[in-house]
């Protein structure tokens, strides 16, 4: 029997992606704990960035949302619930729920602020006294993934809005004295090609993790990747069926990690060592310390552990810190290597 439902558009399975381990790990950890703050993926063109991001969204279990709610509100969690649903609960009004796939929203490069944040219909508000709101992409992305390709080419003002919403979990639209706010909790994923320009350091620092991807050089691995992709293009459903068990196992371990996360602990001495590394590397602010602690806990939970150990920190710390180092034009080593060197000195 066919193990998959008929999808409108088949998505390449996440577990079928060969290589690019750094990017895959960063995405999985952000899905386990969205408060890590998103992922910036920088790398060459044609390295499977958007394929991988679509694949992780497709892999995730369906979420329960309030029916006919434009913000994908959770019926049980106040933090990701719209004000309308909160009022319904307070007034004991019944509503139905339904299960939907995790939203995956693409932000096009030419998007305007209204398209991103949504718009208030002023005419309706003045004439009829009704707060009429046309939701934007931030509303659609609530409880999902918001993907910005070529984020380094996006208008800085829009990047600021994106990062503020991702950090606070809310989007506020104000116009002519009328204000509407709604939940906007999402995993922000940006990708770009360094040849097309860098992101400003103050914006780069706001992304929780930074994965660097390179074109695979090994000829046999390249052949393997090409064959895998060709097989999928020729018969997507048999390829999806082939990876069904692996996909299910990964989905299950993500769900278990999400449940386990709140109880994972990190020893005080390890916290001190993380901060010591950040200090030696001259990382500005405390965001690096916070993200590294969060990511280490998410990684421990992903491995079904109750406590973070040194190896967990070694695995994730470069992803959390490499983009926070001050750029020195005279440096001959890249920032990732610099982080690794200090980590190996401190974490023995």
Q: Looking at the annotation, which residues are catalytic?
A: 287
User: In the beta sheet, which residues pair with residue 179?
Assistant: 174
**Integer Rg of the chain from CA:** 21
- Cα distance between residue 18 and residue 10, in whole Å: 18
Backbone angles phi, psi at 74, to 5 degrees: -85, 130
Tracing tokens 């999400």 back to the chain, one arrives at 258
Question: Beta 97-100 vs 104-106: how paired, if at all?
Answer: unpaired
Report CA-CA distances (Å) from 83 to 73, 74, 87, 183.
Answer: 9, 12, 6, 9
SS3 sequence of 95-138: CCEEEECCCEEECCCCCCHHHHHEEECHHHHHHHCCCCEEECHH
Tokens of 282: 């001259």
């Amino acid at each position: 029997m066919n193990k998959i439902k008929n999808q409108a558009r088949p998505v390449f399975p996440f577990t079928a992606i060969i290589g690019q381990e750094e990017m895959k790990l960063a995405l999985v950890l952000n899905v386990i704990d969205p408060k890590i703050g998103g992922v910036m993926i920088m790398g060459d063109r044609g390295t499977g960035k958007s394929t991988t991001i679509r694949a992780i969204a497709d892999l995730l279990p369906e979420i329960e949302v309030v029916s006919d709610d434009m913000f994908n509100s959770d019926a049980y969690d106040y933090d990701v619930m719209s004000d309308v649903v909160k009022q319904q609960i307070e007034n004991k009004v019944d509503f139905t729920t339904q299960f939907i796939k995790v939203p995956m929203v693409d932000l096009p490069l030419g998007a305007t602020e209204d398209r991103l944040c949504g718009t208030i219909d002023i005419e309706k508000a003045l004439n009829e006294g009704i707060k009429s709101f046309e939701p934007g992409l931030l509303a659609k992305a609530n409880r999902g993934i918001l993907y910005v390709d070529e984020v380094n080419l996006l208008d800085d003002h829009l990047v600021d809005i994106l990062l503020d919403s991702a950090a606070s979990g809310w989007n506020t639209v104000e116009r002519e004295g009328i204000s509407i706010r709604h939940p906007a909790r999402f995993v922000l994923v940006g990708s770009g090609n360094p040849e097309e320009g860098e992101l400003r350091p103050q914006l780069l620092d706001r992304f929780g993790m930074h994965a660097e991807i390179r074109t695979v050089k090994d000829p046999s691995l390249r052949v393997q990747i090409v064959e895998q992709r060709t097989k999928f293009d020729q018969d997507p459903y048999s390829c999806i069926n082939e990876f069904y068990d692996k996909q299910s196992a990964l989905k299950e371990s993500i769900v278990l990690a999400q449940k386990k996360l709140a109880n994972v602990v990190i020893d005080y001495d390890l916290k001190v060592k993380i901060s010591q590394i950040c200090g030696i590397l001259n990382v500005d602010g405390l965001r690096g310390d916070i993200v590294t602690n969060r990511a280490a806990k998410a990684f421990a939970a992903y491995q079904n552990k109750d406590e973070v150990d040194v190896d967990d920190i070694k695995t994730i710390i470069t992803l959390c810190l490499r983009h926070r180092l001050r750029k020195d034009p005279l440096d001959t080593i890249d920032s990732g290597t610099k982080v690794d060197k200090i980590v190996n000195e401190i974490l023995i």
